[in-house]
Structure 1
Amino acid sequence: MKKPIFRRAGIASACAIAIGITAFAGSPVSAATGDDTGEREFVVLFAEGTSAAAAQAAVQAAGGTIVSQNTDVGVATVSTTDAGFAAAAADQSVIEGTAQNRVIADVPDTHKATGEAVKEDAAEADLKADANVKASAGAGAGANAKGKGSAPTADPLAPLQWDMKAIGATADGSYKYEKGKGIVVGILDTGVDGSHPDIAPNFDAARSRNFTHDIPFDANGDEIDGPCEEDPDGSCDDPANVDEDGHGTHVASTIASPLNGIGIAGVAPEATIVNLRAGQDSGYFFLQPSIDALTYAGKIGVDVVNMSYYVDPWLFNCANHPADSPEDQQEQRTIVTAMQRALDYARHRGVTLVSAAGNGASDYTKVISDSSSPDFADVPGEIAYTRDLLDPASCTSMPSEGRGVISVSSTGPSSRKAYYSDYGNGYIDVAAPGGDVYDTPAGTRDYSAGILAAYPKVVAEAEGAIDADGNVVVPWALKSCDASGATCAYYQYLQGTSMASPHAAGVAALIVGKYGVRDFLRGGDYLPAEITQARLEQSAVDTACPVPAAFTYTRTLPSGAVVTATHTCEGSKGSNGFYGKGIVNALKAIGR
């Protein structure tokens, strides 16, 4: 989850490690307005059952104008120049709460040029337990690999997919019995590269949507998404088949890369991928796009969604923490309520909700600290501050702690809980491979212990992973071509709970494919989310806490520094804080 939970996209707290939602919220349905005009945007939550007319009247009475409205869950984005809007809105009986969208400065035309994506330095990522730590190909893996036949039983890079072997998703495992054909998986992330050769065969462009608006710079003038190069008109609205971060593409690939003689195969290699983009290029995930993506998923018959992020700007939304102002407390309550409505809307329509647990190496069931919130500029000079003694009873990370959401922790090649993965008895539902580059006998870094999946060529170029001739020049990326050599694609190693969650989402897709019934209304198959989750948990492989339960991780960083941390696992073999109900298993899930 930055954060794509955890890289900005990844996870930060939940995803790859930074990204919080943001990547694991606030944001823009339209480009946020400039500070100098005095204009502000708010996400407004209405009482359930409020009519569109009553909502409009209440907003107008409070001094605002509705920019866009999601009537399915009673939420609207509102623009106002009235400094007292929030207070006035609180006096309206049909308005339950407001959350201010962080203000973004206007972007001069001179900045609308091609930008470059920049990845965090690998050493720095190690120190932060980033979900986007790169992994090398490992012994025996070449930087370029070719397929060996037109009808492969396994794709060329399958030998490097220890993660698929760990859950029985292989050519001689679950692929023989169930591939998820016709099951629709929505990717709520930074986007999906629909042109990637190992995604395109399963990509549904017609139903894909981009619910975000690129934000070039924040109110402090710092780059967020960078210049808007995709759209000649400078609208900052990327097409729905674009991923300029790479996080969403990696996630989608793990779920449903096809068996096609190139690269890798996903857990459900015949499932349909729908891009429901809710994250910025930078990995921030804001409230309104997340809500809109979830309700859209419920309407079009999506079977499973993967959410490897947390909603910005608060990693933990606290109802009444004394360090927060009354306004911020109210905002956080609004975020939780609005997101829960959207989650409920989708789940009640058959959408199984899967989320990364986070990469903060923390027990979510214990008193905790948060030094990363708010993580998006509101006014020039705003910075995050430390909130100590957060009570888990009144502080909620969304969506991973939402009702009805399957929270997934991360494991390494040895099946131990990954050193960065968040945990907690009662918080974690299941575990899945997410990579742990320090899961080695000596605790030294082995990049092949990461998760290998698709890498957008445009991002690889921007990050310097390939040269002008298209050859890989870094140890954490690979190139794979089909048997003819005419079609090639790129792959990268990442680690994080952002990478664990899609394994669970893929297994959920297999469950719907195996046990679902024909959906004559929306097409495809249908299985109630409650049944899908129950089967996912029941079929997971029980994994006991380590002995002793207080497990100490030892990592030797590239600098030579040795880092240790102790995490305590609570619970029984069948249900505990490290693995939940167990490690997901594709074969067992489909009754094999």
Structure 2
Amino acid sequence: MGSHQGGQRFTFLYQHGSRVERLLELGCQVEYVGRYTPFMTATVSSWKQMKQIERDSELVHVESDRSLQLFPYELQKVYPKKRSVKTKQKGEVLPWNIRRVLRGQNRAFTGKGVKVGIIDTGIDFSHPDLSPNIQGGVNIIEPGKPPHDLNGHGTHVSGVIGAAINQYGIIGVAPEVSLYAIKVLNKKGVGSLSDLVRGIEWGIANNMDILNISISGGKVSPMVLEKAIQTATRRGIFVVAAAGNAGQLSGRGDTVEVPARVPNAIAVAALSKSNKRASFSATGSTVDVAAPGVKVVSTYPGMKYASLSGTSMAAAHVSGVLALFKQKHPKVGHAAILKRLFASTKVLHSSGRNSLTGHGLVQF
């Protein structure tokens, strides 16, 4: 562990309640105590402290906190606000990718009353396409500060899910959904495992219906993250996660990343405009569904719009479609809605479910 200045941050998972007093007694700095999962994040400054903590029979698991970041994604183009994406049709566009998941139909459902937490880099609260639907949020990395997006990724994802119908810009999958910015990544798109878990816990505490996560966490699944996602799912929250952008060109191998590969998370692959798996899209047996993720135009900070490619864009479509299902079937449970989601996909392979696109293209 080394004795460098300030010590090292760990996450401790306990059998029952957390052990704040014990850790404080040993001189550790406790940073967070789980509300729904018996875990704690604390800074430990010496081996001696760690040895004493490990003697606790209640302790189930210890892991050092690790850094997480956005998947590398491709920013194709930024449209200045003056031009925005205006067209002759009353100034507002329903992009091809949104039409694709709505089967091109008129909407009877808009996601009204459904709460979606965007666990990401924050959201641009002043964007005219998003401000009507933003209902709040939290800044986990800089507590007390508003969860504004200094990166662009969270704002783009939010527009795909819920850009409003307002005669301006674009329309999202669920244009009347309630959006919440859960900021766990900084302007460089970097955060930590413990912050991600805290973001999920905030989503549970604030009764989110859906949590949308596009974060690259490698292949090893942390126990505390599994527990947090399991807790959220048990409480009826859908956890939608981008599968990852490190897929092989050949489509071989298991390249799905955490949190998408965690049990109970809905792992989403990306499709091109021709409904083929995007060349970068992660593959593997844990892929559940697929959605458009290539050259997707959506909202971007500074009243702009941008075209981005990545499984993050694909995951956002799935969160939007789930919001529509949730509004349509308010009394139906988690498992039954998931069944409906999978049953309504457009199967893309003769073999049915597969490791490239899961059950197929998500459609409402």
Normalising by structure 2, we get a TM-score of 0.89
In structure 1, the partner of 2:53 is 89
| Alignment partner of 1:209 is 2:145 | no
| Alignment partner of 1:193 is 2:161 | no
Given that 2:66 and 2:193 are in contact with CA atoms closer than 8 Å, whether structure 1 keeps it comes out as: no
Q: CA deviation at 1:305?
A: 1.1
Q: CA deviation at 1:367?
A: 6.6
Structure 2 counterpart of 1:168, one-letter code? L
Task: Return 5+ residue gaps in structure 1 as ranges.
Answer: 1-34, 104-128, 214-235, 318-334, 369-395, 436-449, 458-488, 518-526, 546-571, 587-592
Match of 1:134 among 73, 76, 88: 76
Match of 1:166 among 100, 103, 106: 100
SS of equivalent residue, structure 2 residue 191: coil
Structure 2 counterpart of 1:183, one-letter code? V
In structure 2, the partner of 1:222 is none
| Alignment partner of 1:239 is 2:118 | no
* Residues 1:415 and 1:398: Cα distance change in structure 2 (over 3 Å): same
Task: Return 5+ residue gaps in structure 2 as ranges.
Answer: none
* Residues 1:174 and 1:578: Cα distance change in structure 2 (over 3 Å): farther
| Alignment partner of 1:316 is 2:161 | no
Question: 2-side partners of 1:367 and 1:260: how far apart?
Answer: 42
In structure 1, the partner of 2:231 is 345
Give the structure with higher Rg (CA): 1
Question: 2-side partners of 1:187 and 1:352: how far apart?
Answer: 12
SS of equivalent residue, structure 2 residue 127: coil
| Alignment partner of 1:429 is 2:360 | no
* Equivalenced residues, count: 356
Query: Deviation string for 1:283-320 (max 9, x for gaps)?
Result: 12322221122122223221111111133xxx121xxx
In structure 2, the partner of 1:182 is 113
Question: 1-side partners of 2:28 and 2:277: how far apart?
Answer: 48
* Residues 1:102 and 1:397: Cα distance change in structure 2 (over 3 Å): closer
Question: 2-side partners of 1:498 and 1:102: how far apart?
Answer: 21
Query: Deviation string for 1:452-471 (max 9, x for gaps)?
Result: 001101xxxxxxxxxxxxxx
Question: 1-side partners of 2:151 and 2:54: how far apart?
Answer: 38
Q: CA deviation at 1:190?
A: 0.8
In structure 2, the partner of 1:411 is 271
Q: CA deviation at 1:509?
A: 0.4
Question: 1-side partners of 2:175 and 2:84: how far apart?
Answer: 22
Given that 1:185 and 1:272 are in contact with CA atoms closer than 8 Å, whether structure 2 keeps it comes out as: yes
Structure 1 counterpart of 2:59, one-letter code? I
In structure 2, the partner of 1:45 is 13
Given that 2:66 and 2:192 are in contact with CA atoms closer than 8 Å, whether structure 1 keeps it comes out as: no
Question: 1-side partners of 2:87 and 2:257: how far apart?
Answer: 43
Identity fraction in percent:
27
Q: CA deviation at 1:130?
A: 4.2
In structure 2, the partner of 1:451 is 296
Match of 1:65 among 29, 32, 35: 29
Q: CA deviation at 1:397?
A: 3.6
Query: Deviation string for 1:159-210 (max 9, x for gaps)?
Result: xx2211222265xx142x11111111110111111111110000102xx111
Query: Deviation string for 1:411-469 (max 9, x for gaps)?
Result: 01111100100112x2211110000xxxxxxxxxxxxxx00001101xxxxxxxxxxxx
Q: CA deviation at 1:39?
A: 2.9
SS of equivalent residue, structure 1 residue 201: coil
* Residues 1:346 and 1:145: Cα distance change in structure 2 (over 3 Å): closer
Question: 1-side partners of 2:41 and 2:219: how far apart?
Answer: 22
Q: CA deviation at 1:80?
A: 2.9
SS of equivalent residue, structure 2 residue 10: strand
Question: 2-side partners of 1:364 and 1:452: how far apart?
Answer: 25
Match of 2:355 among 577, 580, 589: 577
Q: CA deviation at 1:71?
A: 3.3
Structure 2 counterpart of 1:162, one-letter code? W
Coordinate RMSD, CA, aligned: 2.6
Question: 1-side partners of 2:103 and 2:181: how far apart?
Answer: 23
Structure 1 counterpart of 2:23, one-letter code? V
Given that 1:44 and 1:95 are in contact with CA atoms closer than 8 Å, whether structure 2 keeps it comes out as: yes
1:387-402 superposed matches below 5 A: 397-402=257-262
* Residues 1:430 and 1:277: Cα distance change in structure 2 (over 3 Å): same
Q: CA deviation at 1:528?
A: 2.6
Query: Deviation string for 1:51-87 (max 9, x for gaps)?
Result: x4xx124424655232221132011121232234333
* Residues 1:181 and 1:169: Cα distance change in structure 2 (over 3 Å): farther
